[in-house]
Structure 1
Amino acid sequence: MASSFVLSSILAAVIGLVTYGIPWFLAECFPVQLLWKQRNGQPTVRTASYAGRTALVTGANGAYGSRAATLFAQNGVSTLILADVFDCTAVKEKIEADLRAQNKTVPTILVWQIDMMTFAGCQKLLQLLKDNSKTVKYLDHVLLTAGILAFNRRESPEGWETTLQVNYFSTALIALLLLPCLEASPGNPNPPVLTFVTSFGIYPAGPTMGLPSSPEQSYLKRLSNNKDGLAQGHQYGRSKGLLLYFARELSARVAAAGTKVTIISADPGSAWTPLTNPNQSKLIPRLIMNISARDPIYGAAALVNGASAPATANGQILHDFDTASYPPFMNRLSGRRAQKRVWDETRREFEGKVPEVAAVYAKLEKK
């Protein structure tokens, strides 16, 4: 009798796991269909010509940023701005040499070095834009690819864990600072586009992104005050989750304020790059990458397409040629509350350290 009860309990548990547990896990933490679709996707750049337009790419020395910059140039962009903490002169020279070898027009290419580990470094990008206003008359496409993957916890000079500093805070600040500068060139039929880079890593990090139990406790500080090990392993996904919250809120406020700018989040998929190569030594990350990784040129094309999206795509997530839904935890009431906390706490941090951003926030509140 007892053994029958045990067997029945085990069977019920197995049925429950198969019926509810595994589908929940796949939907919330590991949407394998999404990975597989991206692995087999081979997007190409949709826009026939970027003639007369200006594109700015952060992280332009990286695997995706350098390839995205190259694609803009190969498709006729007139002015190209390469921004990175590293000197992108070699990227510039390769783009120019390849275009000359193909008898194509070489754009004006500006190389700017900025340190996104500090807010002052982000402000430098805005100052460079102002200093080069005679060359950069329009700003059609901003593609924010800059990011880091840190396996050991460190703090930035601003007091935030470095992954959150670069991937979230500095990227969000650059977006706000550049927002008033975005203006479509005369030959561009669409409003200018500001594009954030999102990631599959948000899904496994999702269960760790719940709000603190106390409303007085800072949500951002709780995520930043992590420890090495598993918690640090989730920081990349957390940083991208925060950025996706910010992007969704920003897109809604831009639309409400009547600002003619399109805010997009684009997912390049997975690829083995200098950023992800350390995962070769880690079993689970390596297996995930082997399921999903593709040539980074396809991810770069997906990002360029995202940065060229029409106004109707405002607030959407773009995967290759398709739109994708937000992660389930973001669409729940708790996710909406977290988004509001992210926006409000980020605003307090920025306005306390970067006074000129207050004017941008004020404009976003006008309806």
Structure 2
Amino acid sequence: MANNLLLGGVAVLAAFVTLVAYGLPLFFAEYFPWQTIRKQRYGRPTLVTKSYKGRTALITGANGAFGSRSAKIFAHNGIDTLVLVDVMDCAAIKAQIEAELKELGKPIPTILMWQIDMMTFAGCQEVGKKAREFKNLDHVLLTAGILSYKRRESPEGWETSIQVNYLSTALVAMLLLPVLKASPGNPSPPVLTFVTSFGIYPSSYTLSMPKKGNYLKHLSNNKDGIQQGHQYGRSKALLLYFARELAARTAIGHLPRKVTINSADPGTAWTGLTGPNNEKLIPRLITNFGARDPQLCATALVNGASAGAESNGKILHDFDTAPYAPFMERKSGLLAQLRVWEETRSEFETKVPETKAVFDLLGAE
């Protein structure tokens, strides 16, 4: 009996050691990259590009915590033309920028304010139409996004997180892609930067593809509860799939000029976007674990939108590149990426016909 108890104790101990040594690291690698989050919390990025003289930058979500701060960073460092794009009026942000620069004796850029309805494709088309007038567009930073724990549908028939964080953001990118052109004083290709998030990690176990039917609709036709709780991360995973595929295709496609497509992870902060996390225990604890000054997050994003051609297709953190989540690197993830691209192309070409010419240049057929 004593021997049996001893053997049983050894077995339990061995199982515990195995769990700690192998199981927990694998779990965290898949669902919660805590070391990366902690590194970002204590990271202190500084601006890499010191002058944006003669250049044009466009920012969506320009009224948000990250977007407004990013706009100010560009403005304080010599940007020539600044385009503030948001669902809300950006007059207050424009006035703040002008007042700050005037007080410091710095030149005030041309500041354009465009309102956009991110819930509709027509709203995105208006931005694409206006941007065609630019002689150059050096930096595009797509920070617009929503976080909702209650399911709603857009006028286009999509769950609103999928609509705003993924489809509308991807559509704006496609419409701006032909407009991207470096200004004469910019030695690097123009950059279009998507904003990603560690939220894709915990959402990964809800991202499995159905054997039949439309994958995007499968994710959009979700229910309140666990699925909606992960909808922000799921929409960001779709966007990261799209960004990686877009970057690969721009590198080998037939665009009229070279462009850089990357994604930047700013880390997390307590902002208007993350405010709803305060009402949820686990999201609140996670946000508290990684939260830092929004100004640092904005600096990381501006650095991403200013990165060189070597950043094409990569995820940028404060000081280096980051790997894609494990589920995205597996064969199933690569298949999901292609499926996301094809279904998105079908949706856009059906509802926004002008995107077909861009997809054709990228070798989409």
TM-score by length of 2: 0.96
Q: Would you say 1:239 and 2:248 are equivalent positions? A: no
CA RMSD after TM alignment: 1.4
Q: Secondary structure at the match of 1:194?
A: strand
Q: Secondary structure at the match of 2:82?
A: strand
Q: Deviations over 1:219-257 (max 9, x none)?
A: 111111111111111000001100000000000000011
Contact 2:158–2:220 at 8 Å: present in 1 too? yes
| Structure-2 separation of matches of 1:207 and 1:49 | 43
Deviation of 1:282 after TM superposition, in Å, equals 1.6
Q: Which moved more, 1:256-265 or 1:157-166?
A: 256-265
Q: Which residue of 2 aligns with 1:99?
A: 101
The residue identity in structure 1 corresponding to 2:115 is Q
Question: Equivalences for 1:1-367 in 2 at 5 Å?
Answer: 1=1, 7-130=9-132, 133=133, 136-212=134-210, 214=211, 216-257=212-253, 259=255, 260-365=258-363
| Structure-2 separation of matches of 1:55 and 1:179 | 14
| Structure-2 separation of matches of 1:10 and 1:219 | 42
Contact 1:116–1:170 at 8 Å: present in 2 too? yes
| Structure-2 separation of matches of 1:183 and 1:253 | 17
Q: Secondary structure at the match of 1:112?
A: strand
Q: Secondary structure at the match of 1:285?
A: helix
Distance change in 2, residues 1:42/1:84 (3 Å): same
| Structure-2 separation of matches of 1:125 and 1:7 | 66
Contact 1:92–1:109 at 8 Å: present in 2 too? yes
| Structure-2 separation of matches of 1:366 and 1:194 | 19
Deviation of 1:48 after TM superposition, in Å, equals 1.0
The residue identity in structure 2 corresponding to 1:152 is K
Q: Deviations over 1:103-134 (max 9, x none)?
A: 0000000000010101011001012223xx2x
Deviation of 1:281 after TM superposition, in Å, equals 2.2
The number of residue pairs the alignment matches comes to 361
| Structure-1 separation of matches of 2:234 and 2:301 | 20
| Structure-2 separation of matches of 1:366 and 1:19 | 45
| Structure-2 separation of matches of 1:47 and 1:158 | 39
Q: Which moved more, 1:281-290 or 1:88-97?
A: 281-290
Contact 2:266–2:317 at 8 Å: present in 1 too? yes
Contact 2:254–2:361 at 8 Å: present in 1 too? no
Contact 1:49–1:76 at 8 Å: present in 2 too? yes
| Structure-1 separation of matches of 2:351 and 2:7 | 63
| Structure-1 separation of matches of 2:9 and 2:123 | 63
Provide structure 1 residue ranges, at least 5 long, that are not aligned to the other structure.
none
The residue identity in structure 1 corresponding to 2:131 is L
Deviation of 1:15 after TM superposition, in Å, equals 2.8
| Structure-2 separation of matches of 1:338 and 1:288 | 27
Deviation of 1:11 after TM superposition, in Å, equals 3.1
Contact 1:257–1:366 at 8 Å: present in 2 too? no
The residue identity in structure 2 corresponding to 1:225 is N
Deviation of 1:161 after TM superposition, in Å, equals 0.6
Deviation of 1:12 after TM superposition, in Å, equals 4.1
| Structure-2 separation of matches of 1:92 and 1:179 | 26
Deviation of 1:274 after TM superposition, in Å, equals 0.8
| Structure-2 separation of matches of 1:202 and 1:321 | 21
Provide structure 2 residue ranges, at least 5 long, that are not aligned to the other structure.
none
| Structure-1 separation of matches of 2:364 and 2:309 | 20
| Structure-2 separation of matches of 1:129 and 1:248 | 24
The residue identity in structure 2 corresponding to 1:107 is P
Q: Secondary structure at the match of 1:245?
A: helix
TM-score by length of 1: 0.96
Q: Which moved more, 1:260-269 or 1:200-209?
A: 200-209
The residue identity in structure 1 corresponding to 2:44 is Q
Deviation of 1:195 after TM superposition, in Å, equals 0.3
Deviation of 1:8 after TM superposition, in Å, equals 4.8
| Structure-1 separation of matches of 2:9 and 2:216 | 46
| Structure-2 separation of matches of 1:143 and 1:108 | 17
| Structure-2 separation of matches of 1:290 and 1:174 | 32
| Structure-2 separation of matches of 1:90 and 1:28 | 41
